[in-house]
Chains A and B, each alone.
Chain A
Amino acid sequence: MSYTLPELMVTAAAREIADGEVVFVGMRLPLLGFLLAKSTHAPEAVGIYELGIVRDTLAPAPILTMGDLPNLYRARWLADTADTMGLLQQGQVDVSFIGGAQIDRFGNLNTSYIGGVEKIATRLPGSGGACDLASLAQRHIIIMNHERRRFVPQVDYMTSPGFGDGAGWRREVGLPRGGPAAVITTLGILRFDAQSREMMLVSLHPGVRVDDVLNHTGWPLEIADELAQTPQPTEEELGMLRRFDPQGYWTGAKPSGL
């Protein structure tokens, strides 16, 4: 069964969720990743949304965004943003998902100012909850396009902290826990070295070569000794995804969301 690149990425994101985990679900592709995990290998996962929503069942109709009314329908809890952020700040969220426009070798993300603050080339929307999800979840997963202009040695502005300038940084600045666990890109999956906290390529999507990844990364990227191939979505997973996104808004061949 053929599949699109966003379908492969959402499937990879869903597999990062273990059954029973509490997930802080971010905007866009992660919405589908959570639904896919819930409907396949993680039926007991709980989803928290920054609008003030907690739910542990699938929305009864397709949603494009977390504020769509089917995502409020029979939620376990409809509450204040501060309530959901409190659970996150306490350390009760196992995993969160965020997107990025620009990332560096230590997984710091910029979604605010391309070119930096002094000389703004492009103003992006900003943090939303991303800074909080990156600061306070036990681990977070990043989903983004893999392009050389986006994978830079150092971000122009740090909206959402990764590992800062390397090992020990998060503790030094006072962050209580966490850090990026994986970066799922259009080319592969990257994780972070346990000692140096530097990004490392661990998996290639089908048909992608190591050189493709290196050419699209703005620093000499570490490559894992044992490089995996990202598993293709199964028929069951694709069937589910097409139920959740029937128009292919996020997961079509030319997705609007990437």
Chain B
Amino acid sequence: MPESKLLPLPEAIERFIPDGSAIALGLAQETLIPFAAGHELIRQKKQRLTLIGPISDILFDQIIGAGCVRKISAAWVGNVITGSSYNFRRAVEGGSLEMEDHSNLTLAMALRAGAMGVPFMPARSALGSDLFKTNSSLKTMTCPFSGETLTAVAALRPDVSIVHLQRADEYGNAHAWGNLGLIRDACLASRRIIITAEEIVDPDIISRDPNRVVTPGYRVSAVAHAPWGGHPSPAPGYYNRDHQGFLDYRNESKTPRAYDDWQKRWVQSIQNWRDYTKLLGAQRMAELAIKHHDYSEPVDYGY
């Protein structure tokens, strides 16, 4: 049997994410955002990180506020249902954060180029826009076949992708379902992969449905069990989006002082997922639970 990759979340982050790492996370955009893993980066006081992601929906803001981040490579950094995010604003306006402005399409192509092992991918988006001024990985090029002007998007190779998903086995084989965003391209493009999962399951459960596997398990560095590890973002099949969590964070991040209080309560007072779910409380978890189950039919992979 291969060696188990199952680690407690703190150990997974400690072993595979040194200071200065370029980390892709929040890859499904609004769903399955790896909040538990992001909070562990804060607890371990990581330094000089580069965060890569499409729409981070407050996780980037939380990690920026903790002083862990040197550079952002993203399409959108904010709070999806309230607008701006304040630590991000303060850091960019204060000049302490380097910004590489992508669109969702150009970031997807940057990771796809990394996934394909080519130096760039061509695209038709963003031509004429100012994204070229604030992202040196975008250049215009002439198509060698048609002579058309195209956008060349340089390949991105993150040091590590952190992916939160529904279920994994201890060897790194894992299922995700729902919208997948940039998860698959980012995993292929990354040198290492850390998976956090709602459930750790028997390897048979994963291998009997290989179409649902997000990336080959042999490339995964670590698997951590993290129930409610995507909260307040939704996890299909497990819990709904906690809108109140996002609304609260708007006020909890408005000033550096408010953010410090937020961090004490939601990050520093917590050691593991048991602490987190205790703080969340049974009533809130019951409210967020899936109420209308809708199971798919099994399919036959036999021969």
* Chain A contacts to B: CB under 8 angstroms: 27, 49-53, 60, 64-69, 72-74, 78-82, 85, 88-89, 112-113, 117, 120-132, 135-136, 157-161, 164, 169-170, 173-176, 249, 256-257
Question: Per a CB cutoff under 8 Å, which of B85, B123, B130, B234 touches A68?
Answer: B234
Question: Per a CB cutoff under 8 Å, which of A123, A126, A135, A257 touches B75?
Answer: A126
Q: How far is the CB of B271 from chain A (nearest CB, A)?
A: 29
Q: Is B52 an interface residue (CB 8 A)?
A: no
Beyond A69-B240, A85-B104, whether A158 also contacts B92 by CB under 8 A is no
A27 to B104, CA, bound (A): 13
Q: How far is the CB of B238 from chain A (nearest CB, A)?
A: 10
Question: Per a CB cutoff under 8 Å, which of A80, A112, A132, A176 touches B184?
Answer: A80
- Chain B minimum-CB-distance residue to A61: B292
CB-CB contacts below 8 Å: B164-202 with A: 177-185
Which residues of the other chain, B, contact A122 by a CB distance below 8 angstroms? 89, 93
A–B complex contacts, Cβ < 8 Å, 24 sampled: A51-B181, A52-B180, A52-B181, A60-B292, A67-B29, A67-B31, A67-B233, A68-B241, A69-B236, A72-B31, A72-B178, A72-B236, A122-B93, A127-B104, A128-B103, A128-B104, A129-B75, A131-B105, A135-B129, A159-B131, A173-B127, A174-B149, A175-B127, A249-B81
Q: How far is the CB of A147 from chain B (nearest CB, A)?
A: 15
Which residues of the other chain, A, contact B54 by a CB distance below 8 angstroms? 81, 128
Which residues of the other chain, B, contact A135 by a CB distance below 8 angstroms? 124-127, 129
Which residues of the other chain, A, contact B184 by a CB distance below 8 angstroms? 80
Q: Is the CB of A176 within 8 A of B185?
A: no
Q: Is the CB of A175 within 8 A of B124?
A: yes
Which residues of the other chain, B, contact A52 by a CB distance below 8 angstroms? 28-29, 179-181
* Chain B contacts to A: CB under 8 angstroms: 28-31, 54-55, 74-78, 80-85, 88-89, 92-93, 101-106, 108-109, 112, 123-131, 133-134, 140, 148-150, 177-185, 233-234, 236, 240-241, 243, 290, 292, 294
- Chain A minimum-CB-distance residue to B109: A82
Beyond A123-B92, A174-B140, whether A51 also contacts B29 by CB under 8 A is yes
Q: How far is the CB of B113 from chain A (nearest CB, A)?
A: 11
Which residues of the other chain, B, contact A123 by a CB distance below 8 angstroms? 88-89, 92-93
A161 to B124, CA, bound (A): 12
A159 to B123, CA, bound (A): 16
Q: A125-B76, A173-B149 are in contact. List 18 more A-B contacts (CB 8 A).
A: A52-B29, A67-B80, A67-B234, A67-B241, A69-B240, A72-B236, A79-B179, A81-B180, A81-B181, A82-B105, A85-B125, A88-B105, A117-B130, A127-B75, A127-B101, A127-B102, A127-B104, A131-B126
- Chain B minimum-CB-distance residue to A250: B81
Give 10 nearest A-B pairs by CB, closest first. Answer: A67-B30, A174-B149, A173-B128, A125-B78, A128-B76, A52-B179, A123-B92, A131-B103, A132-B105, A129-B104
Question: Per a CB cutoff under 8 Å, which of A79, A125, A256 touches B81?
Answer: A256
Which residues of the other chain, A, contact B109 by a CB distance below 8 angstroms? 82
Q: Is the CB of B185 within 8 A of A126?
A: no
Q: Is the CB of A78 within 8 A of B108?
A: no
Q: Is the CB of B77 within 8 A of A126?
A: yes
A127 to B234, CA, bound (A): 23
Which residues of the other chain, A, contact B133 by a CB distance below 8 angstroms? 117, 157
Q: Is the CB of B103 within 8 A of A132?
A: yes
Q: How far is the CB of B251 from chain A (nearest CB, A)?
A: 13
Q: Is the CB of B180 within 8 A of A129?
A: no
Question: Per a CB cutoff under 8 Å, which of A72, A89, A125, A164 touches B179?
Answer: A72
Q: Is the CB of A89 within 8 A of B128?
A: no
A177 to B131, CA, bound (A): 19
Q: Is the CB of A159 within 8 A of B30?
A: no
A65 to B128, CA, bound (A): 30
A160 to B80, CA, bound (A): 18
Q: Is the CB of B124 within 8 A of A176?
A: yes
A157 to B130, CA, bound (A): 6
A69 to B185, CA, bound (A): 23
Q: Is the CB of A81 within 8 A of B182?
A: yes
Q: Is the CB of B234 within 8 A of A81?
A: no
Question: Per a CB cutoff under 8 Å, which of A51, A112, A117, A157 touches B30?
Answer: A51
Q: Is the CB of A132 within 8 A of B104?
A: yes
Beyond A50-B104, A80-B184, A129-B105, whether A67 also contacts B124 by CB under 8 A is no
A226 to B159, CA, bound (A): 59
A130 to B182, CA, bound (A): 17
Q: Is the CB of B105 within 8 A of A174?
A: no
Which residues of the other chain, A, contact B234 by a CB distance below 8 angstroms? 67-69
Q: How far is the CB of A225 from chain B (nearest CB, A)?
A: 31
A254 to B167, CA, bound (A): 41
Beyond A69-B236, A174-B150, whether A128 also contacts B75 by CB under 8 A is yes
Q: Is the CB of A68 within 8 A of B124?
A: no
- Chain B minimum-CB-distance residue to A74: B294
Which residues of the other chain, B, contact A73 by a CB distance below 8 angstroms? 292, 294
Q: Is the CB of B103 within 8 A of A130?
A: yes
A121 to B92, CA, bound (A): 10
Q: Is the CB of A124 within 8 A of B84?
A: yes
